[in-house]
Amino acid sequence: MGAPAAWTQRITPTTTGIALLPSRTCWTKTPAVEPWWSEDSPGTPMQSAPFCEGLWGWGEFPTPEVPEPAEGDNHVRVSIYNIGGPMTAVLGKTTNKEFPLIPHVGVRINGREHFFSDHVENRASVVMDQMMPPDQYPQVTFDLGVSEVDDAEIDAWLKTAEAKFAPENYDLWKRNCNHFAQDFAEFLLPGTGFPAPLMTPVLDFTDSMLDNLPEWRRAMGDVFMNQLSRTVVVSWGRVLRNEKERKAEALGLDKGK
The tens place of each residue's pLDDT in the chain, 257 residues long, gives: 679 999 999 999 987 766 567 888 889 999 999 999 987 667 789 999 999 999 999 999 999 999 999 999 999 999 999 998 888 898 888 889 999 999 999 999 999 999 998 789 999 999 999 989 999 999 999 999 999 999 999 999 999 999 999 988 888 888 999 999 999 999 999 999 999 999 999 999 999 988 888 887 777 766 666 666 666 666 666 656 666 566 666 666 665 66
SS3 assignment for the chain: CCEECHHHHCCEECCCHHHHCHHHHCCCCCCCEECCCCCCCCCCCEEECCCHHHHHCCCEEECCCCCCCCCCCCEEEEEEEECCCCHHHHHHHHHCCCCCCCEEEEEEECCEEEEECCCEEEEEHHHHHHHCCCCCCCEEEEEEEECCCCHHHHHHHHHHHHHHCCHHHCECCCECHHHHHHHHHHHHCCCCCCCHHHHHHHHHHHHCCCCCCCHHHHHHHHHHHHHHHHHHHHHHHHHHHHHHHHHHHHCCCCCCC
Residue 10 belongs to some domain of the structure = no
What CATH code is carried by the domain that includes residue 232? 3.90.1720.30
Residue 33 belongs to some domain of the structure = no
Residue 163 belongs to some domain of the structure = yes
Residue 257 belongs to some domain of the structure = no
Q: How many domains does the chain have?
A: 1
Residue 25 belongs to some domain of the structure = no
Residue 151 belongs to some domain of the structure = yes
Residue 200 belongs to some domain of the structure = yes
d(CA 252, CA 250): 5
Residue 6 belongs to some domain of the structure = no
How many whole angstroms from its chain centre is CA 1?
26
The boundaries of the domain holding residue 168 are: 40-250
